[in-house]
Amino acid sequence: MSPASAFSDRLWASLPVPAFLVDPGDLISEVNPAAEDFLNISARGLRNAPVLDVLAIDANLDDAFQRVRSREGSLSISDVDVGTGYQAPVLCNFQVAPMVGMPGFLLLIFEPRQLADRLGRAHSVKTAAKSAIGMAEMLAHEIKNPLAGITGAAQLLSMNLSGEDREMTDLIVGETRRILKLLSQVEQFGNLSPPERKVVNIHDLLDRAKKSAEVGFAANMKIVEAYDPSLPSTYVDGDQMLQVFLNLIKNAAEAAGKTGGTITIRTFYDLSLRLRRRDGTAILPLQVEIVDDGPGLPTELAEDVFEPFVSGRENGTGLGLALVSKIISDHDGWISVDSGPGRTVFRISLPLAPKTDGTEADGAET
């Protein structure tokens, strides 16, 4: 194989979006690994299949193919639904281009919009977190010391006051304590150590989080378990992942308010989410969902909910979900949210525990 041919093969395999090579008869000649993942069909099963039998596209492909072949110029179509017989339609940006030196052959490239938007938001979260938290960390220590002095002085003053004057000093104490709590969360975010991963039964962690929530912040909630008992183990830092579950359950309880509601903790196995990383494709089949029946996230915050200092609650710090996102990212996992009135779902996707001696690792951290 020539160096140029080897480079072309590597380039084709490295494309992060689904790509199809279509011959002059509109049969699939070749697909890249991302297309196999997108369709959940192997390249062998796709070769020589009519492309219009494999892909259901909300666009006039016959006309698009004819225009590209006759003009030998590329064509781009935005926001089209692309479906198959095996999955629901996915909103994509779609490109068709002629293959240079291969008359009649076309290159089809799809960019799933949902994944692109989610990846873009994830990058935004990390960038915003680094800048905002970095600046806050620099100030946190210097601010905490004088705040502690202000709190102490206000408490001493209140000992000789009464009525409205004492209400003012109580306000000072309450607000300074709130700021101190915020600064502590900032320091916790910045000082979070790398995860110490072990083989973990995710249900053990969820049970601990549920029991803690039921006797504390979620005492007014009904918590329902919907576990898949056959779920394999994962590979995480148990303490950090417990913090994630507690944070999400607490958010769900706070969204319901004093009237209470129902929180459903669901686990299941799903191979559909695969993320392309520099070292290959990451498969995240272990799914945990925290579902509540509250009012849902404010529309203006839904896309930015994992960014630091974004909160829909009065006096909220906006760091809880940013910390959750950071922990999940450090574990090579994925977190997403789907929210509407009466149903909000936070979904965490995690990898399997590594295999040893050809079998899945056993055991669980409790």
* 176 in Cβ contact with 151 (< 8 Å): yes
The CATH topology of domain 3-113 is Beta-Lactamase (3.30.450)
CATH 3.30.450.20 domain locations along the chain:
3-113
Length of the chain: 366
pTM for this entry: 0.54
CATH 3.30.565.10 domain locations along the chain:
195-366
Query: Helix, strand or coil for residue 331?
Result: coil
The per-residue pLDDT string of the chain (366 residues; one tens digit each, 9 = 90 and over) reads: 555 566 667 778 778 788 999 999 999 999 988 888 777 788 888 899 888 888 877 677 788 888 888 876 788 877 777 776 555 677 788 888 898 888 899 999 888 765 444 444 444 445 555 555 555 566 666 677 788 888 888 888 888 887 778 888 888 888 788 777 767 766 666 556 788 899 999 999 999 999 989 988 898 999 999 999 999 999 999 988 998 999 999 989 988 877 889 999 999 998 777 665 555 567 889 999 999 998 888 776 666 777 665 555 555 556 678 888 888 988 888 888 888 889 999 999 999 998 764 444 443 343
Tokens of 17: 């979006």
> Which residues, including other chains, have CB under 8 Å from residue 138's CB and lie 6 or more apart?
none
Report the distance separating Cα 92 and Cα 97, nearest Å: 16
The CATH topology of domain 195-366 is Heat Shock Protein 90 (3.30.565)
Which residues are registered as beta bridge partners of 272? none
